[in-house]
Chains A and B, each alone.
Chain A
Amino acid sequence: DAGVIQSPRHEVTEMGQEVTLRCKPISGHNSLFWYRQTMMRGLELLIYFNNNVPIDDSGMPEDRFSAKMPNASFSTLKIQPSEPRDSAVYFCASSTPERIEAFFGQGTRLTVV
């Protein structure tokens, strides 16, 4: 099992640019989560998908953030336009109803300059 795969591992971009983070969940997992980790706020849930449908996006900070899950094996988190305060590590995690814990990817470290 390859685990949750995220790309890129590191992203440096200029303020105002569009950023797209990608995630491939574990095969067979029907729940997918995007988390953001910062020094100030710790780990925060941004959005949760179940069976490719967004169920809870109350953690998405503002309209500049959007997430999609076009199929069971792929999800994206997009920031447009990016701002320096978006700099953080973004984690994707997946799970199943039978396993209440989530399995995390290695994360994407985003730096907006």
Chain B
Amino acid sequence: AQSVTQLDSHVSVSEGTPVLLRCNYSSSYSPSLFWYVQHPNKGLQLLLKYTSAATLVKGINGFEAEFKKSETSFHLTKPSAHMSDAAEYFCVVSDRPGGYNKLIFGAGTRLAVHP
């Protein structure tokens, strides 16, 4: 079965400094991977997705993620944090039980951004 592990439950950065949110995945075949963001009391918004094309994936709001098969990782990065980036971030892998795309969510990483 597919699974993801988010290595940090909380990350705190200063505004203007880089962001790194770590995610490792487990998959028996070539996975599809996603990052979703959830702002307080809001729904989940897709940041970016990897579907076996380019290994470096660019998303919205300046975020990007790199798929590294050798390390089974899909870390999320942003060069410069903004206050509005404070939210919870979920790494997600797509499983295909019975042929449909079932999204398996990680436990989440809460990002705090300080002035």
Hey, which bits of chain A sit against chain B, CB under 8 A?
Answer: 4, 31, 33, 42-43, 45, 48, 50, 55-56, 91, 93, 95, 100-107, 109
Residue of A nearest to B94 (CB): A100
The interface of chain B, by Cβ under 8 A from chain A, is: 32, 34, 36, 41-46, 49, 51, 90, 94, 97-98, 100-103, 105-108
A27 to chain B, nearest CB (A): 18
Residue from A56, A103, A109 within 8 A of B102 (CB atoms) = A56
Q: Output the least CB separation between A57 and chain B (Å).
A: 12
Nearest-neighbour CB distance to chain B for A53, whole angstroms, equals: 11
Check A91/B44 contact, CB under 8 A, given A50-B100, A100-B51. yes
Smallest CB-CB separation from B104: which chain A residue? Answer: A45
Interface centre among B51, B94, B105 (most CB of A within 10 A): B105
Which residues of the other chain, B, contact A33 by a CB distance below 8 angstroms?
103
Please state if B98 and A55 are interface contacts (CB–CB under 8 Å).
yes
Inter-subunit contact A106/B42 (CB<8 Å): yes
Q: How far is the CA of A4 from the CA of B45 in the complex (A)?
A: 12
